[in-house]
């Protein structure tokens, strides 16, 4: 068995030769809030303040824009692909709707009206339910077979991000008190509250292998948790600003985290050590590892090179050899 130290050294060496980025410039006319790969890794989607969704294909290390989807009348704040059907994409918007897009036909397949301005969305791994959270801390559960609202849960605390366990039977929320609330699904009974951080717990992400989940906080720390034992294994502390976004690599070995720091940190989950970092020019809003390769998509608050008052609207993909 390869030791943790040997594996860490191999990963560090790999990224010394795979540290180049590709940019999809002018993907949007305003800042990009969310990026995500579909399950087969052939497409990358981005959602923007400009109310559109862009879909790209990755062809021989080149990002090619395939289509732009219009229909939302508010900012597209978060998106999430179906876990096993590569053509279905869901988006949450400030226009009080959830939309499901089918990339085979290149248009919106359905939309669901909700009660508030939506800011986060997560599709259960079994594909049966989409959960969407709004600015008033209401979480709406949508049955994807009927496109009807199955349940609504109003919370009395600030809900920051939501996530499903890999078995789709537990639902996790991060809150403004630094806690992670864990609910059973579908009955939505509170199972446990984890005190994860001393300050606001902002983001949460599950590792694709089911071994870990991680939380990012306003205290600039990322905590790595054992998903079965619900115990904190280690803490990543290389960032100085509140952690806005985190993502696990396909094999669970790497954890990317980003903030207003001018780097994206890539840590080794086994040891907590730094594997690599990516220099950026502005705060990072969103990061997403490719589902099969060590390639990371991200979007920052970059400004237009010719007009600093305008958003660049670009996204980048990192991890190429040249």
Could you tell me the two tokens for 226?
């054992």
pLDDT digits (tens, 9 = 90+) for 215-241: 999 999 999 999 999 999 999 999 999
pLDDT digits (tens, 9 = 90+) for 117-160: 999 999 999 999 999 999 999 999 999 999 999 999 999 999 99
CA 156 from chain center: how many Å? 24
pLDDT digits (tens, 9 = 90+) for 70-120: 999 999 999 999 999 999 999 999 999 999 999 999 999 999 999 999 999
Q: What is the pLDDT of residue 219?
A: 96
Q: What is the pLDDT of residue 129?
A: 98
Instruction: Give 67-72's long-range contacts (Cβ < 8 A, gap of 24+).
Output: 67/103, 67/106, 69/101, 69/106, 69/107, 69/108, 71/99, 71/108, 71/111, 72/97, 72/99
| pLDDT at 43 > cutoff 60 | yes
Nearest partner of 21 among 311, 308, 299, 303, judged by Cα: 299
Q: Within 10 Å of residue 134's Cβ, how many Cβ atoms? A: 20
Q: What is the pLDDT of residue 26?
A: 77
Q: How confident is the model at residue 50 (pLDDT cuts 50, 70, 90)?
A: very high
From the number of C-beta atoms within 10 Å of its C-beta (0-12, 13-18, 19+), residue 281 rates as: exposed
| 85-to-42, 118, 153, 234, 313 alpha-carbon distances in Å | 12, 23, 27, 34, 28
Mean pLDDT of the chain: 95
Tell me the pTM.
0.96
CB 316 within 8 A of CB 23: yes
Sign of CA dihedral 159, 79, 34, 42: positive
Strands 170-175, 179-184: pairing kind: antiparallel
- Interval 1-21 mean pLDDT: 90
Q: What share of the chain has pLDDT > 90, as a percent?
A: 91
Q: Comparing 12-26, 196-210, 282-296, 302-316, which segment has the lowest mean pLDDT? A: 302-316
Q: How confident is the model at residue 178 (pLDDT cuts 50, 70, 90)?
A: very high
Q: How confident is the model at residue 256 (pLDDT cuts 50, 70, 90)?
A: very high
CB 251 within 8 A of CB 291: no
Q: What is the pLDDT of residue 1?
A: 54
Q: What is the pLDDT of residue 312?
A: 82
| pLDDT at 271 > cutoff 60 | yes
Domains defined along the chain, listed by start: 2-318 (2.130.10.10)
Q: Comparing 60-64, 92-96, 209-213, which segment has the lowest mean pLDDT? A: 60-64
| pLDDT at 196 > cutoff 70 | yes
Nearest partner of 203 among 167, 152, 154, 239, judged by Cα: 239
Q: What is the pLDDT of residue 181?
A: 98
């Amino acid at each position: 068995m390869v030791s943790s130290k040997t594996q860490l050294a191999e990963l560090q060496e790999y990224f010394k030769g795979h540290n180049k980025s590709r940019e999809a410039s002018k993907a949007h006319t305003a800042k990009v809030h969310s990026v995500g790969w579909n399950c087969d890794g052939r497409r990358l989607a981005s959602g923007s303040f400009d109310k559109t969704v862009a879909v790209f294909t990755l062809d021989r290390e080149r990002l090619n824009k395939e289509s732009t989807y219009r229909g939302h009348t508010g900012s597209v704040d978060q998106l999430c692909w179906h876990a096993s059907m590569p053509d279905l994409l869901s988006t949450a918007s400030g226009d009080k709707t959830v939309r499901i897009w089918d990339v085979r036909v290149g248009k919106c397949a359905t939309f669901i009206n909700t009660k508030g301005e939506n800011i986060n969305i997560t599709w259960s791994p079994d594909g049966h339910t989409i959960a969407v959270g709004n600015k008033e801390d209401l979480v709406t559960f949508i049955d994807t077979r009927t496109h009807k609202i199955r349940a609504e849960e109003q919370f009395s605390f600030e809900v920051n991000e939501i996530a499903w366990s890999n078995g789709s039977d537990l639902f996790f929320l991060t809150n403004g008190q630094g806690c992670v609330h864990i609910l059973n699904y579908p009955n939505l009974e509170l199972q446990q509250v984890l005190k994860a951080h001393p300050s606001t717990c902002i983001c949460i992400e599950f590792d694709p292998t089911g071994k870990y989940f991680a939380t990012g906080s306003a205290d600039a720390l990322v905590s790595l948790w054992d998903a079965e034992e619900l115990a904190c294994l280690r803490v990543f502390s290389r960032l100085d600003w509140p952690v806005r976004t985190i993502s696990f690599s396909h094999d669970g070995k790497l954890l990317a985290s980003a903030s207003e720091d001018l780097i994206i940190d890539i840590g080794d989950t086994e040891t907590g050590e730094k594997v690599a970092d990516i220099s950026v020019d502005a705060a990072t809003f969103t990061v997403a590892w490719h589902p099969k390769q060590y390639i990371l998509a991200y979007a920052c608050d970059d400004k237009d090179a010719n007009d600093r008052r305008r958003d660049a609207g670009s996204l980048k993909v990192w991890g190429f050899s040249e």
